[in-house]
Structure 1
Amino acid sequence: MTENEKLTPVPLSDAIDKFIQRVGLTIAWAYVVLVLVIMLQVILRKGFASGMIALEELQWHLYSIGVMFGLSYAQTTNAHIRVDLFYSRLRAKTKRIIEVISIPTMVMPFIIIIFLQGIDFTYESYRVNESSEAASGLPYRWLIKGVIPVSFALLALAVISRFIRDITLLIKGDD
């Protein structure tokens, strides 16, 4: 099985992946809004010599939302980047064993740390009512910081789905 092929069906994992993919496709509309905001900012800056700081910050926020939620989408579609120098040449069973070992020992601890730190980061921003340092910038900076724990929770769910899929297929012996 190559990395771009469809994953072998496992009902629980398929249901989780479908949910995450729906969320990802919904969040992807942020890129449409991003393009419109960029176009508006360019028109204001080049056509009227008056760009807006709030639009500049909104661009960063929209791009961040797409990237952060794109992580879980990429995990469920098996489109994330690996070091394929060796991995691509391995048999499906060997790849699954690597996934089953690496998910609980490396991936989940990383996700948990970022998730927990993201909660603290967001809470502190909310507590002090953090806003842009620019006078005409965006308020409520905790909203964009809140994307960190939410997107990493979704990524954790995607990784758990992958773990379930790989364990199930190793037990079934499906290559």
Structure 2
Amino acid sequence: MDSSKAFVEIANTSVDTFVRGAGQVICWANALLIGVIITQVVLRYGFSQGQVFLEELQWHLFALAIVFGIAFAQVTDSHIRVDILASRFSEKTRRLWEIFGIVVFILPFVWVVFYHGLDFVAESWRLNEHSSAPSGLPWRWAIKAVIPLGFGLLGVVVLARLARHVAALAGHFRSHGDSDMPSPPR
């Protein structure tokens, strides 16, 4: 095994393992979110005591699940695909199509969100931004940091996938059984 092939395999395996593990942890944000929602509903409608911090916590947990869930969906190939045409292509053409989509659409989008997200967090940190509600959550910069962190992780995942496709086209990987390619129609 040459060093570039070994690097691509190790990098892909490491990224996939990390994101799958993080996804398993982050998925518990949804369970916690359900608990927070139920608590808020009971307090608000059962005791007329709605809590602003619980409402804000709902938004924060939802943001965690969605933003980090995007990278998880990319790794597990559980995101929505529009394969009306691509599913009819040969494996080589599908890989080229994936590379095109990554380079032209995903990476530029990830870069823009990541780059501007850093400024967004820095400004929030500088202002020591917090909730405008007296009983709201402090440290608004912490939840805003989820944006560049999540999209940075997505960028790493997409770069690993790009390397995998390029290596497969170069003949470094066997095509059969690759989990990163949708199956052709039967």
Give the TM-score, by structure 1 length: 0.89
| CA distance in 1 between partners of 2:132 and 2:91 (Å) | 51
Within 2, Cα distance between the matches of 1:16 and 1:148? 19
Contact 2:124 2:140 in 1 (8 A): yes
* 1:22 to 2:38 alignment: no
1:50 maps to 2:49: yes
Alignment of 1:3-152 (within 5 A): 10-152=9-151
Which amino acid in the other structure matches residue 84 of structure 1? D
Specify the alignment match of 1:6 in structure 2. Answer: none
Cα-Cα RMSD: 1.6
Consecutive unaligned residues in structure 1, runs of 5 or more: 1-8
What's the CA shift for 1:84? Answer: 2.4
Determine helix, strand or coil for the equivalent of 1:88. helix
Deviation track 1:84-132 (CA, whole Å, cap 9, x = no partner) reads 2222332322111011222223211111111010000001011101111
Decide whether the 8 Å contact of 1:10 with 1:168 is kept in 2: no
Query: Are the aligned partners of 2:71 and 2:150 in contact in 1 as well (CA < 8 Å)?
Result: yes
- Measured against aligned partners, the alpha-carbon deviations of 1:127-162 in whole angstroms (never above 9, x if no partner) come to 101111222211111111000000011000110111
| Counterpart residue number, 2:169 | 170
Return the TM-score normalized by structure 2.
0.84
Task: Supply the AA of the counterpart residue of 1:174.
Answer: S
Counterpart code for 2:109: F
1 CA distance for matches of 2:146 and 2:105? 22
Shift of 1:10: 4.4
Counterpart residue number, 2:4: none
Give the SS at the match of 1:85.
Answer: coil
Give aligned pairs, total. 167
Q: Which ranges of structure 2 fall in alignment gaps of 5 or more residues?
A: 1-7, 177-186
| Residue aligned with 1:84, SS | coil
